[in-house]
Amino acid sequence: MTRVFSRVLGLCGGSVLFLASTGYGDAPVDFQTEVFPIFEARCFKCHSDEKQKGDLRLDSPAWILRGSENGKVLTAGDADDSPLYYLTTFDPDDPDYMPSKGKGLTKAEQQLLKRWIDEGAHFGEDMGGGMMAMAGAVPSPSGVGSKYTDDLPLPPATYEMPETMAAVVEKLEAMGLAVDTVNHDANYVEVSYTYAVKQKAYSLSLLEPVAGAVVKLNFARSKVEDGQLAGLGKFKQVSHLDLRNTSVTDAALEAVGELEGLEYLNLFGTSVTDAGLAKLHRLKGLRRIYLHGTKATPQGIARLERAIPGLKVVR
Amino acid sequence: MKPFLTKLSDMDRRDFLAYSAKAFLGVGLMPSVVRTTAFAADLPESRPTAKNVIYLYMAGGMSHLDTFDLKQGTEFQGATRSIKTNVPGVRMSAYLPGLAQQMDKLAVINSMFSNQGAHEEGRYFMHSSYTKRGTIQHPGIGSWLVKFDGNRNPNLPGVVHIGSPNPGGSNGFLEQRYAPLVVGNPEAGLQNSSRRQNMSEEEFRDMVSLTNAFDAEFHGRYKQQKKVEAYSEMYDDALKLMRSRDLAAFEIDKEPKHLRDSYGANPFGQGCLLARRLVEHDVRFVEVTLGNWDTHTNNFERVEENAAVLDKAMSTLLADLELRGMLEETMVVLATEFGRTPKINENDGRDHSPTAFSCVLAGGGIRGGQVYGKTDTSGKNVIENRVNVPDFNATIAYALGLPTEKTVYSPTGRPFRVADKGRPVLDLFG
């Protein structure tokens, strides 16, 4: 009763409460009836279920204990080490002063808060028991784990190419080719020709020393010519071949048909026809082929689809 | 070869930890030939394949409750209704009929979590994975990408932002050459990027070389200073761009009328079309912004209007990329700074709510047709598979083959990583 009384006075005016809190100061401050209402009145606008400025909520003991984005806000037994208290005592013009919006805490409220923390910041039975349990049921940011924490390692990754490869790669890059690792693994590479400097760069023999590593060949928008693709079949690891928007014709597809490991073939915007597609029938592992903007007909595509079960044709 | 990575490894030799294959269940899609080779067993089963990113940013805070995470049959739903998608069992807002038919390409993440509830701060966090500080600017993921992995097209900038004078991501503390190029109006293309008409190429060259001659001594003396160098690099890049045939990438009027209409006759739709053209020309990271999502008032009508613009543009973009065989190498991201409150306020609006919201990934090795994570019955809090903002960015970085574990030091010597301490959500791949 006395505690409730002092709280009511506290909200009315500082000087009165000052008397009250010293006068009735023998009983410890009760969190639920004395401190929590201060938070409700002064802090909830920004620090409760509606908003969590600075990642701080003050609407349950669990949240208060969790602290803010800057860490703990409460050190039990030491108000002067608890931002929860000392920020309210700053000069209202101070950028860190709390509350940053609305009316600040009265002197009496500050005193009450200080005393509660200095007394050990006990949440009491009602709050500490019932509300703590409730707070536990609320998924707290620290409670609902994202599955990926530092305990769960990522797949191994290598970004540095083996030395034997590095020398070859350097030579390729000097000719305007790009060599990129695939799938976070420098043992597999994609070679891109789009910005090749000279026709010489298209010679497949340049790739032979690293043939085992090349899994993707990207000629998109490059100046590659049919003849330069002869001998492609040697690159048994190649699963992706991109020829979109190039001048290649059916003649090139002879060599493409030898790439037994091919899964992805992009012929978008090329002039290939049904006759060219017929040369691909033995690529049983092919999963996707892109034929928009080519001269392929529905009949030619149907034949290809019959020859390669499971093939997705995009056109 | 990526020499920058070698350099980085000198700074940070922290190796990736051992890896338990069981921890990562992905549908194995490794090339069949590779699978049979001796070292194939070492390969992770998930397959990040992205080279480029088209990042669609919903500025203002897109209501997850009226787009991807509906709560039908509750008091929180308001006027929004759901429809079927092309994936059985997955439903989406009726405001997104086009995307509903592309659900098989999408990974919808309904368990996004941010601790930033204000627009600027949220936007900054979403783009950089770090909270806003007065003392340092953190780079956006596009700038990280170009820093780590280079600029593929030698003539175009690596990062372009379309449709917002206030791009959320910047080069931060990275060098000026990794800064985004900002394009205000996609239809206007690049302004002031051509030579003045009455000036010949020779005269122009003379002028440039004269400038260089004047500056030579200064540059020689201050070569070591990053800012001086950055300034001259900026000139060099501008000159390269002016003379490049790749400038045509900016000319969206070269596209057929029906396709332009299909993207939507509005800045965002045309911005998405421009984004596709740029990525086709190997620009690494293109962000397109759609604003007006801050629906404190009249939420339902405004979301419907905004969603219509988004739906048309994004569904056309996905179909267009797929047609060109570019969806595997292009990751399409739909992101926003936070979600909105389940509680409908007195103005028929929804207020900010960062504790649960939705983002979407497609392409770049993402397994489509999945909904990841769950919120509670109201949509206020995440209850399953929370994805923090840094985790989300780490996922994008992982898709791009960026090392999320590598530490890079700012000029002041402070350590930073691509997505701070975020961890990629590997379940989304494969």
Minimum-distance CB partner of A263 among B31, B384, B425:
B31
Q: Which residues of chain B have pLDDT under 50?
A: 1-45
Q: What are phi and psi of A201, to 5 degrees?
A: -65, -20
Q: Which of B31, B42, B424 sits opposite A148 (nearest CB)?
A: B424
User: CB count, 10 Å around CB of A70?
Assistant: 11
What is the Cα–Cα distance from B66 to B307, expressed in whole angstroms? 9
pLDDT of residue B57: 97
What ipTM goes with this model? 0.78
Say what the pLDDT of residue A52 is.
81
Cα–Cα dist A181/A187, whole Å = 7
- A85, A99 Cβ separation under 8 angstroms: no
Please state, in angstroms and rounded to a whole number, the distance separating the CA atoms of residues A190 and A204.
14
- For residue B241, which of B169, B155, B302 has the smallest C-alpha distance? B155
CB B48 within 8 Å of CB B400: yes
Q: A220-250: string of b/e by CB count within 10 Å (b at 16+)?
A: bbbebebebbeebeebebbbbbbbbbbebbb
Q: Tell me which chain A residue has its CA closest to the CA of residue B374.
A: A144
Query: Which DSSP letter does residue A211 get?
Result: G
Taking each continuous run of H as one helix and of E as one strand, the counts in chain A are 12, 7
Print the SS3 string covering A83-103. HHHHHHHCCCCCCCCCCCCCC
B16/A156 touch (CB, cutoff 8 Å), yes or no: yes
Q: Which two tokens stand for residue B189?
A: 């293309």
Residue of A nearest to B386 (CA): A146
Q: What tokens does B234 get? A: 């900026």
Name the nearest CA neighbour of A235 among A208, A196, A265. Answer: A208
Counting every residue written for chain A, the total comes to 315
**Of all helices (H) and strands (E), which one includes residue A306?**
helix A298-307
The tally of CA atoms less than 13 A away on the side-chain side of residue B411 is 14
Q: Which residue has the tokens 């979109």?
A: A244
Decide: helix, strand or coil at residue A246: coil
CA dist B366 to A125, A170, B123, B408, Å? 50, 31, 24, 27
> Chain B 282-341, CB below 8 Å of chain A: which residues?
282, 322-325, 328, 341
B391 CB-near residues (< 8 Å, 6+ apart)? A146, A148, B419, B422, B423, B424, B425
Contact by Cβ (8 Å): B401, A184:
yes
Higher pLDDT, A173 or B164: A173
Partners of residue B150 in chain A, C-beta under 8 Å = 178
Q: Looking at the partner chain, which of B16, B34, B131 has a beta carbon nearest the beta carbon of A239?
A: B34
DSSP secondary-structure letter at A131?
A: I
Provide the whole-model pTM.
0.73
φ, ψ of residue B409 in degrees (nearest 5): -105, 135
Q: Given this model, what pLDDT does residue B112 score?
A: 97
B99 to A237, B152, B311, B334: CA distances (angstroms): 36, 30, 6, 12
pLDDT of residue A153: 57
Task: Report the candidate in B339, B366, B281 with the shortest Cα–Cα distance to residue B102.
Answer: B366
- Checking if the pLDDT of A231 tops 70, the result is yes
Across all residues in chain A, what is the average pLDDT? Answer: 82
Furthest CA-CA distance within chain A: 101
Label each residue of chain B as H, E or C.
Answer: CCHHHHHHHHHCCCCCCCCCHHHCCCCCCCCHHHHCCHHHHHCCCCCCCCCEEEEEEECCCCCHHHCCCCCCCCCCCCCCCEEECCCCCCEEECCCHHHHCCHHHEEEEEEEECCCCCHHHHHHHHHHCCCCCCCCCCCCHHHHHHHHHCCCCCCCCCEEEECCCCCCCCCCCCCHHHCCEEECCCCCCCCCCCCCCCCCHHHHHHHHHHHHHHHHHHHHHHCCCHHHHHHHHHHHHHHHHHCCHHHHHHCHHHCCHHHHHHHCCCHHHHHHHHHHHHHHCCCCEEEEEECCCCCCCCHHHHHHHHHHHHHHHHHHHHHHHHHCCCCCCEEEEEEECCEECCCCCCCCCCCEECCCEEEEEECCCECCCEEECEECCCCCCEEECCEEHHHHHHHHHHHCCCCCCCCEECCCCCEECCCCCCCCCHHHEC
Report helix, strand or coil for A241.
Answer: strand
Bond before A83 cis per omega within 30 degrees: no
pLDDT of residue B127: 95
How far is B399 from chain A, CA to nearest CA, in Å?
9
Residue B56 sits at φ, ψ, to 5 deg, of -95, 115
CB-CB under 8 Å, B424 with A154: yes
Closest-CA residue of chain A to B394? A148
Tokens of B113: 């979590």
At A29-76, the pLDDT tens digits run 888 888 888 888 888 888 887 778 888 888 777 788 888 877 889 988
Cα–Cα distance, B99 to A191 (Å, whole number): 34
| Single-letter amino acid code for the residue at A243 | L
CB A221 within 8 A of CB A194: yes
A51 closest CB neighbour out of B18, B352, B384: B352
**Binary contact (A261, B5; C-beta < 8 A):** no
- How many CB atoms sit inside 10 A of residue A103's CB? 9
Please answer whether residues B67 and B358 qualify as being in contact, where contact means their C-beta atoms are separated by less than 8 angstroms: yes
CB-nearest to B24 from A53, A155, A161 is A155
pLDDT of residue B41: 36
Residue A133 has pLDDT above 50, yes or no: no
Tell me the nearest-neighbour CA distance from B214 into chain A, angstroms.
Answer: 32
Show residues of chain A in contact with B33, CB under 8 Å.
Answer: 236-237, 239, 260-261, 285
Tokens of B69: 């995470």
Would you state the torsion angle of the CA atoms of residues B51, B56, B62, B63, taken in this order, to the nearest 10 degrees?
A: -60
B428 burial level (CB within 10 Å; 0-12, 13-18, 19+)? buried
Nearest to B395 by CA among B413, B358, B422: B422
CB B312 within 8 Å of CB B353: no
Percentage of the residues of chain A whose pLDDT score is greater than 70: 82
Q: Do B17 and A154 touch (CB under 8 A)?
A: yes
- Asked if B312 contacts B267 with a C-beta cutoff of 8 angstroms, the reply is no
Which H/E stretch holds residue A240? strand A240-242
Residues A310 and A124: their CA atoms lie apart, in Å, by 67
- The answer to whether the CB atoms of B425 and A180 lie below 8 A apart is no
User: What is the distance, to the nearest Å, from the Cα of residue B151 to the centroid of all Cα atoms in its chain?
Assistant: 16
* Strand-strand pairing, B330-336 and B339-340: unpaired
B42:A52 CB<8 A = no
B352–A contact, CB cutoff 8 A: yes
In this prediction, residues A213-232 reach a mean pLDDT of 94
Task: Kindly give the pairing relationship between strand B52-58 and strand A312-314.
Answer: unpaired
Distance from CA of A174 to the nearest CA of B (A): 11
Helix (H) or strand (E) holding A187: strand A185-192
With b for 16 or more beta-carbon neighbours within 10 A and e for fewer, the B127-158 pattern comes to bbbbbbeeeebbbbbbbbbbbbbebbbebbbb
A-B C-beta contacts closer than 8 Å: 167
